Amino acid sequence: MRHTLKLLSVLSLSVSASVFAGSFTLSSEDIAQGQYMSKTQEFNGFGCSGGDVSPQLAWVNAPKGTKSFAITAYDPDAPTGSGWWHWQIVNIPMTVMEIPAGAGGTKTNRAPVGSTQIKNDYGSRGFGGVCPPEGHGIHHYRFTVHALSVERLELPEDASGALAGYMINGNTIESSTIEALYKRD
């Protein structure tokens, strides 16, 4: 009986630990799940006149085996047939758990040391803000942090968004997403 109680105690602790272990979670002071973004995240160009500032992002509880991170911002609703890459930043060191607003700036280098920003679909390296066509309705913008199983993604200097996405997805252990909204009437 004593052995059975001891075994049940150990099993109970194991179950409790897994239930209370935090999940890999992305948060932001600037964007929120299912909420509209501000003009601060709107592109400045292509008929848009926003601040073109990447949002602050933070994450917790990286899964075991994480060696680096990547961040992507993607609009699946863009009328291109393939969506629109607004931002891809790879090779973020595993010690980084937060990036400030504006870290994806194309004119300033505030991205984490050692990271690489991939050319977005506007043609520049860094964050390119939201700018759906006027009257096109609500667009869903998926900001995702990926916990990667490798320290570095070896990508060519001119890697496309599709190639970067392929390498990110092929090395993702776990990811967390905030899907924010935007529309222009």
Instruction: Quick: pLDDT tens for 90-108.
Output: 999 999 999 999 999 988 8
CA distance 90 to 111: 10
Phi, psi of 49 (to 5 degrees): -135, 40
Q: How many CB atoms lie within 10 A of CB 135?
A: 8
Instruction: Report pLDDT for 50.
Output: 97
130 bridge partner residues: 42
Which residues of the chain carry a pLDDT beneath 70? Answer: 1-21
